[in-house]
Amino acid sequence: MYFAVGSDLHRCKLESYGESQARSPARGRPWLAVEAKLGDRPLDPNLRYLLERVRIPHAVQVSLHGTLDSRLADVNGCRVRLVPAARFLAHLP
């Protein structure tokens, strides 16, 4: 899982349902969390766990072979979206 702070990208490793190892850098707060999957799946439990504990405005679960593109219910004020990798990458500058 990755999250963005300003223009920097940070890797975040979570132990399954354990304490989060993610630390917000002192320079700013995360504004985007990205989880990568091979196919269409429901929202990853580890991503949900992080979003319930850290205020991040946006989250995207990207699937390499998936076709599902939908916006899920907000988690702790975070806008969550499932999107195919091709569509996600096409919108990056």
Complete DSSP assignment for 6-17: TTEEEE--B-TT
Does residue 13 have a pLDDT over 70? no
pLDDT tens-digit readout, 19-50: 444 444 446 678 888 888 999 989 999 889 88
Does residue 15 have a pLDDT over 50? yes
What is the phi/psi pair of residue 29, to 5°?
-105, 150
Look up the pTM and report it.
0.76
Indicate the number of domains in the chain: 1
Q: Give me the pLDDT at residue 10, please.
A: 65
pLDDT tens-digit readout, 53-75: 888 899 999 999 999 999 999 99
82, 40 contact by CB (below 8 A):
yes
* Domain extent for 56: 2-90
The contacts of residue 82 (CB under 8 Å, 6+ apart) are 40, 43, 60, 61, 63, 66, 68, 69, 70, 71, 72
29, 3 contact by CB (below 8 A):
no
Q: Give me the pLDDT at residue 33, please.
A: 87
